């Protein structure tokens, strides 16, 4: 009988890979890793501003995934579930940072319950293409950890303040207040970066 070979398994999809990974299938887990590793690493890098920390935290996020994939129930998209898991891994890391660095708890002023007026609109800090993206990314990486986390979670990742408050263990008003301060600090860093770049360009 011509070409009577073993039938090929159907092409692996994310949904099928999740089912198999939940049963301990290593190949399926590897499929999920390669499918999501760039996104997870990018999130870790944005939140830490450090390539070495991002690499370690991305690996930790996938270790968590390996341990917890069986608990995924499909109540949200898998990418959303993994995203939240990664955020939690990064936040736990930020809380454990060494004393000579600004910790997320130091940055979050728990006594400030009153959110200031939003003097800076989203479009103002997202900049609508008016600033060099590299300069903006550099400024974000230089924000204190707590400010950076809240800014990224809200303005880049799209979390609502009630979600951020739950993640960080602070009030909604405090989250709004810290976002405002983060935007103000980011504006200062962007302006400083522009001045610095002009100085370097002039041979300074």
The CATH number of the domain where 52 resides is what? Answer: 1.10.1740.10
Query: CA 143, CA 48: separation in Å to the nearest integer?
Result: 10
pLDDT for the residue 133: 67
The per-residue pLDDT for range 27-82, each reduced to its tens digit, is 999 999 999 999 999 989 888 888 899 999 999 999 999 999 999 988 889 998 99
What is the dihedral sign for C-alpha 175, 178, 180, 185? negative
For residues 126 and 183, membership in a common domain is answered with: yes
For residues 127 and 165, membership in a common domain is answered with: yes
**Domain end point (choices 95, 129, 162):** 95
Domain assignment present for 19: yes
Q: Which residues of the chain have pLDDT under 50?
A: 1-2, 4-8, 98-103, 105-130, 202, 204
Domain assignment present for 6: no
For residues 134 and 189, membership in a common domain is answered with: yes
pLDDT for the residue 97: 65
pLDDT for the residue 135: 73
pLDDT for the residue 57: 95
pLDDT for the residue 17: 93
Domain assignment present for 41: yes
User: CB-hemisphere CA count at 13 Å for 37?
Assistant: 10
Query: CA 181, CA 116: separation in Å to the nearest integer?
Result: 9
For residues 85 and 128, membership in a common domain is answered with: no
**What is the greatest pairwise CA distance in the chain?**
79
Domain assignment present for 144: yes
Domain assignment present for 136: yes
For residues 73 and 143, membership in a common domain is answered with: no
pLDDT for the residue 196: 59
Residue 117 lies in domain: 112-201
Domain assignment present for 20: yes
Torsion of CA 66, 70, 74, 76, to 10 degrees: -40
Domain assignment present for 45: yes
Residues 6+ apart with CB under 8 A from 187: 120, 125
pLDDT for the residue 115: 37
pLDDT for the residue 91: 84
Distance of alpha carbon 54 from the chain centroid: 10
**Domain end point (choices 66, 95, 124):** 95
- Residues comprising the chain, all counted: 204
For residues 117 and 64, membership in a common domain is answered with: no
SS3 2: coil
How many domains are contained in the chain? 2
């Amino acid at each position: 009988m011509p070409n009577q070979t073993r039938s090929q398994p159907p092409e692996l999809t994310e949904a099928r890979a999740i089912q198999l990974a939940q049963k301990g299938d290593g190949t399926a887990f590897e499929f999920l890793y390669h499918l999501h590793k760039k996104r997870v690493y990018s999130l870790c890098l944005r939140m830490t501003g450090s390539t070495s920390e991002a690499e370690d935290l991305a690996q930790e996020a996938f270790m968590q995934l390996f341990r917890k994939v069986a608990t995924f129930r499909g109540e949200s998209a898998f990418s959303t579930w993994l995203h939240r898991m990664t955020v939690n891994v990064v936040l736990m890391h930020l809380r454990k940072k060494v004393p000579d660095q600004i910790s997320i708890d130091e940055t979050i002023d728990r006594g400030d319950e009153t959110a200031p007026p939003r003097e800076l609109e989203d479009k103002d800090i997202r900049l609508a293409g008016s600033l060099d993206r590299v300069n903006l990314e550099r400024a974000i990486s230089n924000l204190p950890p707590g400010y950076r986390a809240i800014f990224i979670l809200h303005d880049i990742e799209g979390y609502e303040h009630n979600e951020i408050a739950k993640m960080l263990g602070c009030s909604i008003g405090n989250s709004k207040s810290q976002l405002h301060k983060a935007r103000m600090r980011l504006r200062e860093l962007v302006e400083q970066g522009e001045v610095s770049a002009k100085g370097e360009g002039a041979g300074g």
